[in-house]
């Protein structure tokens, strides 16, 4: 067997072994990292559910208040705005006077 080829096989085998160790270490690190992220997200979900449970009475009161505001807004939307007759007459006469001034000049 050629000496250079034999030396190349030894080096390839040595680096292949090192790469296998590095690959397994990287795989372990990846799994541990993903588990940490999963546990963190689960913990966040639990805290959010706990806050939702503790604030349920406040949420119910807030929903009732919003519903009452919507009813009030709907009732007010159907009412026509009341403009005093004097204000309306003054606006019309000002408009007519401005219009007459434009026609004269």
Which structural domain, as residue segments, surrounds residue 23?
3-104
Name the more confident of 52 and 86. 52
Alpha carbon separation from 65 to 44, 45, 58, 60, 87 (Å, rounded)? 29, 28, 11, 9, 36
pLDDT for 56 equals 92
Q: pLDDT tens, 22-79?
A: 888 889 999 999 999 999 999 999 999 999 999 999 989 999 999 999 888 877 766 6
Q: How many domains does the chain have?
A: 1
Distance CA 36, CA 47 (A): 16
pLDDT for 29 equals 96
The sign of the CA dihedral 87, 88, 90, 95 is positive
């Amino acid at each position: 067997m050629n000496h250079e080829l034999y030396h190349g096989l030894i080096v390839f085998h040595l680096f292949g072994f090192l790469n296998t160790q590095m690959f397994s270490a990287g795989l372990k690190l990846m799994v541990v990292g993903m588990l940490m992220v999963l546990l963190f997200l689960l913990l966040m979900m639990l805290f959010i559910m706990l806050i939702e449970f503790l604030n349920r009475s406040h949420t119910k009161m807030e929903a009732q208040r919003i519903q009452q505001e919507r009813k009030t807004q709907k009732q007010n939307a159907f009412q026509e705005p009341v403009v005093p007759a004097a204000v309306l007459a003054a606006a019309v006469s000002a408009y007519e006077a401005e219009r007459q001034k434009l026609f004269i000049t």
